[in-house]
Amino acid sequence: MVTQLRPDAVRAAGLDPMPPVPGFRAGVIAAAPIILGYFPIAVVFGVEASRIGLGVIEATMLSLLIFAGAAQFLALVLIASGAAPLVAAGTLIAMNLRHVLYGPALMKAAGQPKRPWAALWTWCLTDEIFAQALATFGVGQRFSERWMAGLGLGGWAAWVGGTAVGTWAGAGALAGFPALEAGLSFMLPALFLALLLSVASRTVLPAVIVAAVATVIGVVFMSATGAILAGMIAGALAGVLIR
């Protein structure tokens, strides 16, 4: 006679080889560090948008449709300088080309994604959300499109909400706190760096070094956008060769 253990008893004994699939709520909870970072930075963006004359609806639509922190701050500069629409659009597209690589990088974990869910979570892929997903799957969590959707939508909602609050507060909201404004502006790269370091290991260190060197060279001899693309391409090629 063979005795069968209940599933909860098997998991309690640490014998279950397949961890549970995380859902949407778990994704939103995992987005907490990103939400805490995005909201204040988005408030700064909203304040800056109001300074160049954008209203709450206009600034919020930028965050709804673009959802890319650095690109949105650049968009404000382009709008304020009176850049031609095609020039502005081309500049922002070039700056965000790196996002095209994020989806394929997660496809190995995703397997065969369902189209509605994939359209949702790939839309929400930013530097920080990608880094958080990569770090989480790197420690053994099973891929879940609902979890990815919760992670992405949590960050997206925080960014859009912060933009609306900052624009509503107006151009003078941070005028008396220059140090605070400068600190908040640094939170986005600091957040991404912290998430990136969580997946750092000796095996990827050479690729990171190559990417950093290529980026520095790009900054010296090209534009910031060109430096970002050069660093991404060099790092990706180095990663392929190392493997």
What are the domain boundaries of the chain? 22-199, 201-243
- State the Cα–Cα distance between residues 128 and 155, nearest whole angstrom: 9
pTM here?
Answer: 0.68
- State the Cα–Cα distance between residues 243 and 106, nearest whole angstrom: 17
Q: Which residues are within 8 A (CB) of 113 and not within 5 positions of it... i.e. 6 or more apart?
A: 107, 145
> Of 65-69, 97-101, 171-175, which gets the smallest average pLDDT?
171-175
Q: What are the tens digits of pLDDT across the range 195-237?
A: 566 555 666 677 778 888 888 888 788 776 667 677 777 877 8
Q: What are the tens digits of pLDDT across the range 83-142?
A: 778 877 877 887 777 777 777 777 776 666 666 777 777 788 888 888 888 888 777 778
